């Protein structure tokens, strides 16, 4: 009996250690993605922790053997859950210097707690120790909370020192922010300015202080620098503008993106428009097709507004299989855009991209390019060969199936625009949806609305991720009669596609963030 108990304790300790490590790495990836803020304790981590607590209670109720076997089961379950979650997550942990320090603090916390429990030496304490590893995500988040203030002070000091040279760079500096369209506007503007200027821009969607710093350190005499500013919490934009002060500011619009951390739309608007305060009003460009930006624009008279009701007016939007077309009208000559000049210029924009939202994105970039002296004729000619930005309603062909990669579509307006664009494609419509992430307390309401919206055009809806049940609820609430299929992971969904798709189908991937 003693030998069996000892053997089970060893198995429990080993499985517990593996469970603890996989849980820590899985949680650390999520924390790292959130700029090392602890965030909310994931639902699956809560369930596993409760299971561990239940096992602890069973130790006292049912004796030693079950008190060891059940924790082993919890540990094995934890390993499986963490491994699956990590394999399908985009938030893979990267062993950076800060990441390693976080793991060291986590290990110290967990070890200290386990030793403290085991010191009295009772059977209950020893057995409890064997399954306490399942609490690993909680200790990791505690480690992030404890190290956060120290790390942020350390980073602030480093960034201030490393970014000091930026103020003295003799280049035109443009910063782009917003809840959506940042990367598309940045890449479009870079495309339009190249040839007239030498241009340096941040890579992809790198929009944190370290991401921007990585870009500007590559400066080699370029005439224009375009940076993308992101914000997950209050103070992020203010930090970026203090480190990398812009000459021009572009705000693409504001929605409830990241409302989980901001709590209210008003807080998001206030944060994004801190960028507006960093430049002269006449050098502020706003997309007023967005309701929040339109409302805020009244506070910035003299700013350059773009949209159906903007200084740069967008109208006569058309779309077909080849792309989009729209008319822009604006005041002034190409090299002297001055609000108040009565002469209106007309510019027809044609581009091989899709979606009304992309018309807004292109129009904002066009307005900025014109303000910087690029001729209307040059802009019109260049946009006819502009292929758009990867993962932003990117249309591709695979045999006789049309694939629309909209992996970064993560706001409700984007879903609406995507559905409208999808109507213009032929064949059966297959929608692979994961809904809107980081929706906070409005998660259920927003993702139920996603289901209602996609029902308007879908023949088949494939759902996966944490928002699946809400999307399905939305579909059923409007009597959707098509095929609904739910998958345990995005990889499983992709694997099933060859059996689902038919010749002539159009498949739209709406948001690939679980």
- Residue 146 burial (C-beta neighbours within 10 Å; 0-12, 13-18, 19+): middle
Q: What is the pLDDT of residue 256?
A: 78
pLDDT for 483-494, tens place per residue?
A: 999 998 888 999
**Contact indicator for 36, 151 with CB cutoff of 8 Å:** yes
Kindly compute the dihedral angle of the four CA atoms of residues 153, 154, 156, 161, in this order, to the nearest 10 degrees. 140
- Measured between alpha carbons, how far is residue 430 from residues 164, 385, 409, 497 in Å? 50, 28, 16, 10
What H or E segment, with its residue span, contains residue 193? helix 182-193
Kindly compute the dihedral angle of the four CA atoms of residues 460, 465, 467, 469, in this order, to the nearest 10 degrees. 60
- Measured between alpha carbons, how far is residue 121 from residues 115, 116, 455 in Å? 10, 10, 61
Average pLDDT over residues 139-157: 90
pLDDT for 204-254, tens place per residue?
A: 888 999 999 999 999 999 999 999 999 888 899 999 999 999 999 999 999
- Work out the number of other CB atoms within 10 angstroms of the CB of residue 459: 15
Show the domains of the chain with their CATH numbers.
2-158 (no CATH), 165-383 (3.40.1190.10), 394-510 (3.90.190.20)
Tokens read off for 385: 């060969």
Q: Answer yes or no: is pLDDT of 193 > 50.
A: yes
| Angstrom distance (rounded) from CA 241 to CA 292 | 21
Most confident of 84-98, 201-215, 319-333: 201-215
130 band by pLDDT with thresholds 50, 70 and 90? very low
Mapped onto helix, strand or coil, the DSSP state of residue 316 is strand
Average pLDDT over residues 86-97: 76
pLDDT for 391-416, tens place per residue?
A: 788 888 888 999 998 877 578 888 98
- If we measure between CA atoms, which residue out of 459, 438, 12 comes closest to residue 232? 438
Q: Answer yes or no: is pLDDT of 471 > 50.
A: yes
Q: What is the pLDDT of residue 123?
A: 46
- Segment among 3-17, 105-119, 138-152, 378-392 with least mean pLDDT: 3-17
Q: What is the pLDDT of residue 17?
A: 76
Q: Answer yes or no: is pLDDT of 12 > 70.
A: no
Instruction: Give the rounded distance of the alpha carbon of 478 from its chain centre.
Output: 29
Q: What is the pLDDT of residue 22?
A: 82
Q: Which residue has the higher pLDDT, 130 or 354?
A: 354
pLDDT for 39-50, tens place per residue?
A: 655 555 555 555
Considering the chain, what percentage of its residues have pLDDT values greater than 90?
Answer: 52
37 band by pLDDT with thresholds 50, 70 and 90? confident
Q: What is the pLDDT of residue 157?
A: 93
| Angstrom distance (rounded) from CA 136 to CA 106 | 8
| Angstrom distance (rounded) from CA 141 to CA 133 | 14
- Segment among 3-7, 98-102, 455-459, 460-464 with least mean pLDDT: 3-7
């Amino acid at each position: 009996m003693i030998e069996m108990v000892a053997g089970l304790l060893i198995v429990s300790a080993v499985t517990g250690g593996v469970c603890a490590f996989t849980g820590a790495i899985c949680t650390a990836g999520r924390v790292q993605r959130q700029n090392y803020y602890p965030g909310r304790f994931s639902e699956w981590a809560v369930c596993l922790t409760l299971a561990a607590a239940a096992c602890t209670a069973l130790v006292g109720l049912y004796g030693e053997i079950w008190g060891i076997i059940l924790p082993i089961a919890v540990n094995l379950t934890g390993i499986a859950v963490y491994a699956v979650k990590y394999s399908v997550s985009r938030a893979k942990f990267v062993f950076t210097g800060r990441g390693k320090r976080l793991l060291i603090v986590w290990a110290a916390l967990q070890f200290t707690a386990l030793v403290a429990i085991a010191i009295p030496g009772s059977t209950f304490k020893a057995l409890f120790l064997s399954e306490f590893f399942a609490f690993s995500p909680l200790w990791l988040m505690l480690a992030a909370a404890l190290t956060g203030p120290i790390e942020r002070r350390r980073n602030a000091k480093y960034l201030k020192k490393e970014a000091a040279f930026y103020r003295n760079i003799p280049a035109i500096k443009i910063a782009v922010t917003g809840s959506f369209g940042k990367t598309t506007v940045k890449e479009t503007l870079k495309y339009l300015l190249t040839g007239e200027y030498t241009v340096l821009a941040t890579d992809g969607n790198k929009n944190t202080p370290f991401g921007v710093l990585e870009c500007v350190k590559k400066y080699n005499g370029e005439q224009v620098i375009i940076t993308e500013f992101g914000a997950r919490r209050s103070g992020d934009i203010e930090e970026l503008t203090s480190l990398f002060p812009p000459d021009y500011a572009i705000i693409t619009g504001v929605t409830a993106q990241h409302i989980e951390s901001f709590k209210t739309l008003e807080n998001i608007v206030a944060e994004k428009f801190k960028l507006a305060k960093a430049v002269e009003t006449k050098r502020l460009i706003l997309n007023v097709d967005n309701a929040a930006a339109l409302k805020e624009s009244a506070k910035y008279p003299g700013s350059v507004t773009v949209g159906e009701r903007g200084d740069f007016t967008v109208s006569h939007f058309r779309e077909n299989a080849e792309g989009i077309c729209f008319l822009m009208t604006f005041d002034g000559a190409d090299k002297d855009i001055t609000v108040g000049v009565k002469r209106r210029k007309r510019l027809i924009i044609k581009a091989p991209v899709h979606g009304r939202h992309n018309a807004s994105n292109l129009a904002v970039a066009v307005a900025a390019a014109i303000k910087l002296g690029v001729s209307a004729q040059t802009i019109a000619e260049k946009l006819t060969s502009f292929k758009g930005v990867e993962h932003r309603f990117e249309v591709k062909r695979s045999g006789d199936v049309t694939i629309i990669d909209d992996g970064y579509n993560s706001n409700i307006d984007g879903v609406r625009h995507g559905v409208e664009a999808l109507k213009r494609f032929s064949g059966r419509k297959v929608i692979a949806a994961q809904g809107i992430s980081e929706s906070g307390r409005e998660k259920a309401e927003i993702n139920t609305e996603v289901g209602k919206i996609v029902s308007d055009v879908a023949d088949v809806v494939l759902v996966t991720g944490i928002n699946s049940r809400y999307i399905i609820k939305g579909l059923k609430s409007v009597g959707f009669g098509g095929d609904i299929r739910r998958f345990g992971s995005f990889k499983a969904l992709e694997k099933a596609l060859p059996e689902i798709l038919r010749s002539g189908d159009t498949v739209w991937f709406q948001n690939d963030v679980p």
